[in-house]
Homo-oligomer: A and B are copies of this chain.
């Protein structure tokens, strides 16, 4: 963890540099808190001379004893995951330009329509609609690193055991303040079922069934909430082939090691066949 700077003979924290004049330090071994403070001070002094700006300090949870010393030296929290805490420090006297933390949870709601015009609905065992008798679309969270189209298929399989294929994003909703001040993005995905026998998951789902779309739309919980009512209307239009959403095109980004998806309207109408058939 500690490297000797051969020119100046100073012990510094081991660091890598990013493209934004930033320094990234990942502490892996425990050390005495006073040694840690001394290393932080020396390192920041050196980085200041080198014109560095932001310092990222990643502390694994087993080194929680080093959080307090880092905060005392002027670091603040950037984000945390179950196994680590990321702290940051800004060397210049200017306002920091560090990128913000992840700000949104992303969810999916699945509109699964069968050839009889019935849609897949569930009653949940917990949450806002617990005990209300409300039939709702299967919903769930998009996991870290998971594609929206994949998440919708996975949630339906997990909750009700139905196999599906992704068709379109029909709409999406952005809302705020729903969970510890974070924002939510909910993507309503149309899926085509390829199996029909429901096997519900007992821990989360109280009941699941195929229901005529009109019966779903006529529930008071749908009619009394503008966004639910509007989504039900879109689903009905889609059933009648009067609506077009965004389809998913696999692409690869410059900075991503995995494929990404571009969601847009009607790529089959665009002329470049290389793009249509990657």
Residues of chain A at the chain B interface (Cβ within 8 Å): 19-21, 61-62, 64-65, 67-68, 70-72, 76-86, 97, 99-106, 126-128, 130, 141-148, 170-183, 185, 203-204, 225-227, 229-231, 233-234, 237, 242-246, 249, 251-258, 260-267, 269-270, 272, 275, 278
Q: Which residues of B contact A79 (CB under 8 A)?
A: 79-80, 101, 180
Check if A176 sits within 8 Å of B77, measured CB to CB.
no
For the complex, give the distance between the alpha carbons of A260 and B180 in Å: 17
The residues of B that contact A21 with a CB separation of less than 8 Å are 126
Residue of B nearest to A227 (CB): B251
Q: Is the CB of A182 within 8 A of B78?
A: no
**Which of B61, B172, B260, B266 contacts A76, CB < 8 Å?**
B61
User: Do A77 and B82 touch across chains, with their CB atoms under 8 A apart?
Assistant: yes
CB distance B177 to A130 under 8 Å?
no
CB contact under 8 A between A128 and B19, given known A84-B77, A103-B102, A174-B260: yes
Known: A176-B256, A226-B252, A226-B275. A19 touches B130 (CB 8 A): yes
Query: Contact at A267–B226, with CB atoms within 8 Å?
Result: no
User: Given A82-B76, A183-B145, is A261 in contact with B128 using a C-beta cutoff of 8 Å?
Assistant: no
Instruction: Given A71-B64, A81-B101, A145-B183, answer yes or no on A265-B251 (Cβ-Cβ < 8 Å).
Output: no
B183-A144 in contact (CB<8A): yes
Please name the 8 residue pairs, one residue from A and one from B, whose CB atoms are nearest each other, closest first.
A171-B264, A175-B260, A80-B80, A77-B80, A227-B251, A64-B71, A64-B68, A102-B102
Residue of B nearest to A244 (CB): B265
A230 touches B245 (CB 8 A): no
Instruction: Please tell me if the beta carbons of A172 and B263 are within 8 angstroms of each other in the complex.
Output: yes
Residue numbers in B under 8 Å from A249 (CB-CB) = 230
Contact A253 B265 (CB under 8 A): no
Q: Are B103 and A258 in contact (CB under 8 A)?
A: no
A121 to chain B, nearest CB (A): 17
Q: Is the CB of A175 within 8 A of B103?
A: no
Give chain B nearest CB distance to A91 CB in angstroms: 15
Kindly state the separation between the CA atoms of A262 and B187 in the bound complex, as whole angstroms: 10
30 contacts between A and B (CB under 8 A): A21-B126, A64-B68, A67-B67, A77-B84, A79-B80, A80-B101, A86-B180, A100-B141, A102-B103, A102-B105, A106-B185, A148-B174, A170-B265, A172-B262, A173-B251, A173-B262, A173-B263, A174-B260, A175-B255, A175-B256, A175-B260, A176-B256, A176-B258, A177-B258, A226-B275, A229-B275, A230-B262, A237-B269, A244-B265, A246-B246
